[in-house]
Structure 1
Amino acid sequence: MAEFDDTVTAYLRTWNATDTNERRALLERHWAQSVTYTDPLAQVSGHDGISGAVEAVQAQFPGYVFTLVSGPDAHHQQARFQWGLGPRDAEPVVVGFDVLSTDPEGRIQTVLGFLDQVPA
């Protein structure tokens, strides 16, 4: 579904946005106010919670970027996709698998994340 290509692209752009104002604009446009995000390392909600999680990952992996590894595979108001995190133009160091759902306006409402590959 083409709209989920755009949603997943916006999702990854949010995780890659190092500028607070750019990230805030992406959150406002593409993420529901009441969004929830859960993965093995974080459980946050709302735009401030997502922004804080993004900042924490960026601090832990400075200069790394998120890229799409596979997908998205989507139906109804949900999509799944695999992403990678690593140096630009290099193999990912971390690989994960996320499932997201959207609200009726197409904004990201819920994210469930899983880690498939993490550094030792």
Structure 2
Amino acid sequence: MDHALQTTWETYVASWKATTPAEKQALFAASLDENCTYTDPLGVASGWEALAQTMQGFHQQIPGAYFVTERFASHHNVCMAQWKMHDGSGAVMGEGVSFGQYNGQGKLVAMTGFYDTP
């Protein structure tokens, strides 16, 4: 397992919890390619601005929610992360798995999440 890829993944995960646009942009700069694509069962976001809007919508639905990686594996610039989603009080609300693809500089270019939808 590549610990640099895991560090990048956890920086990206932290961006979901970031509360200010400046904090989110700094985490994006440290972990994401500017042309990254995020895909989950509810939609697709291409680029930092669209991803930030997706995250904002997520927090409007579930204020204070965040993700905790339970298991991480990587090889050949791809990763798999099993995670749990917690609400603002820390209670587990759901779980899923995400896959990431990294560019040659170790930044995420694609993040794909899988989870049950209501």
Q: Give the CA deviation at 1:27.
A: 1.1
Give the % identical residues: 25
Give the RMSD, CA atoms, in angstroms.
1.5
Residue 57 of structure 2 corresponds to which residue in structure 1?
56
Q: Is the counterpart of residue 98 in structure 1 residue 111 in structure 2?
A: no
CA–CA distance in 1 between the matches of 2:103 and 2:27?
Answer: 16
Q: Is the counterpart of residue 73 in structure 1 residue 80 in structure 2?
A: no
Q: Give the 3-state SS of the residue equivalent to 1:93 in structure 2.
A: strand
Residue 16 of structure 1 corresponds to which residue in structure 2?
17
Q: Give the CA deviation at 1:112.
A: 1.2
Q: Which amino acid aligns with 2:45?
A: V
Q: Give the CA deviation at 1:90.
A: 3.7
Q: Which amino acid aligns with 1:24?
A: Q
Of 49-58 and 85-94, deviating more is 85-94
CA–CA distance in 1 between the matches of 2:88 and 2:82?
Answer: 17
CA–CA distance in 2 between the matches of 1:52 and 1:106?
Answer: 24
- TM-score of the pair, normalised by structure 2: 0.90
Residue 42 of structure 2 corresponds to which residue in structure 1?
41
Q: Give the CA deviation at 1:82.
A: 1.1
Q: Which amino acid aligns with 2:81?
A: F
CA–CA distance in 1 between the matches of 2:87 and 2:37?
Answer: 27
- TM-score of the pair, normalised by structure 1: 0.89
Q: Which amino acid aligns with 1:94?
A: G
Residue 110 of structure 1 corresponds to which residue in structure 2?
110
Q: Give the 3-state SS of the residue equivalent to 1:80 in structure 2.
A: strand
Ranges in structure 1 where 5+ consecutive residues have no aligned partner: none
CA–CA distance in 1 between the matches of 2:23 and 2:17?
Answer: 10
CA contact (8 A) 2:11 2:30 kept: no
Report the count of equivalent residues.
117
Q: How does 1:76-87 map to 2 (within 5 A)?
A: 76-87=76-87
Q: Which amino acid aligns with 1:81?
A: A
